[in-house]
Amino acid sequence: MQLTDLQALYVKADNIAKKRYEWYERHGFKYMIASYFARISAFAFVAGGTVLPFTHCTFGGIFEHAAQAAVASLAIAGLLVLADQVFMLTNTWGRYASAKMRIKSLLEAGELEWEMRQKSLPQSGPVGDEQAKSAMVGFNALLSESWKVVETETSTWSSDIIKAMGLLQSRMDDQRKIADSWKAKPAELGAIQIHFKNNLAAGTEGTIIIGNESKPIQSPPGNLVFNGLMRAVHTVTILTKPPGVQQPRRSEVAVKLDSALATIDIDLNSFA
């Protein structure tokens, strides 16, 4: 066997190990981007959930008050963290990075060993059998050790998937318990009664909104009742639109519903 034959075998073994390294590098980059996106987004929603209660932001009326928006923001952050764990984004990125670095160290060690070995081999003429066998043992070690890295990483991936599915099932059970605990019982619901004083100015249109329910202000106004409300603090929104005005005027009143019925008085003269 000539030195060129051994060189060809080394290059072949080195290329196989490099392909394994490149696979982890290529796929690891995708998981790195996904991991960064999930973690940065989760942090942003946590920050939003922390700050929103100190504002009046309801995102254009989507939420009844800022506290609800904060809860929604924190819930989205929790879902992003759960997605990261269930789909193993950060976990897989870490596994791939570790496998890649181990294979890289094997490649560098193999390259250094081959360079040193070449200096002890005859540059022309046949290479001794013992020397050739020793060299091929080194090539085989590069292949077998890099494959062991792949096997170990794949085995870890398999066990991590089972853990991730167990985590998802656990979170589903937790959410089911929370949903059951939040089911409103009759005693937990109440009503808000709105008593109007005076009438709206002639031609003025009025609407009362609580949560997702809206009711027009009649003439004469009488009373309006909103039933089936959770016992909490609710925002009563009054929209009035005088003649000739394009955009309705908006006013808000906070009402605490802590019993079966809460009553508020609204003087419609103040919206003339």
At 12-22, the pLDDT tens digits run 999 999 999 99
The predicted pLDDT at position 204 comes to 84
Classify the C-alpha dihedral 42-47-51-57 as positive or negative: negative
Q: Is pTM beyond 0.75 here?
A: no
**Which burial class, exposed, middle or buried, applies to 31 when counting CB atoms under 10 A from its CB (0-12, 13-18, 19+)?**
buried
Mean residue pLDDT of the chain comes to 88
Q: What does each C-alpha distance from 191 to 105, 210, 271 come to in angstroms? A: 70, 11, 24
Rounded to the nearest 10°, the torsion over CA 127, 133, 139, 141 is: -160
CB distance 168 to 86 below 8 Å = yes
Taking the C-alpha atoms of residue 210 and residue 235, their distance in angstroms, rounded to an integer, is 6
Residue 122: how many CB atoms within 10 A of its CB? Answer: 11
- Using DSSP's 3-state secondary structure scheme, residue 201 falls into coil
Show contacts of 259-262: CB within 8 Å, 24+ apart: 259/190, 259/231, 260/190, 260/191, 261/190, 261/191, 261/192, 261/193, 262/190, 262/191, 262/192, 262/193
Taking the C-alpha atoms of residue 100 and residue 114, their distance in angstroms, rounded to an integer, is 21
> Which residue has better confidence, 34 or 66?
34
> Which residue has better confidence, 82 or 272?
82
Taking the C-alpha atoms of residue 257 and residue 190, their distance in angstroms, rounded to an integer, is 7
- For 136-167, the pLDDT digits (tens) are 999 999 999 999 999 999 999 989 999 888 88
239-254: average pLDDT? 86
- Using DSSP's 3-state secondary structure scheme, residue 228 falls into strand
How many residues make up the chain in this entry?
272
Q: What does each C-alpha distance from 220 to 169, 205, 223, 225, 244 come to in angstroms? A: 56, 12, 9, 15, 22
- CATH superfamily for domain 186-271: Immunoglobulins (2.60.40.10)
pLDDT confidence bin for 201, thresholds 50/70/90: confident
The predicted pLDDT at position 120 comes to 84
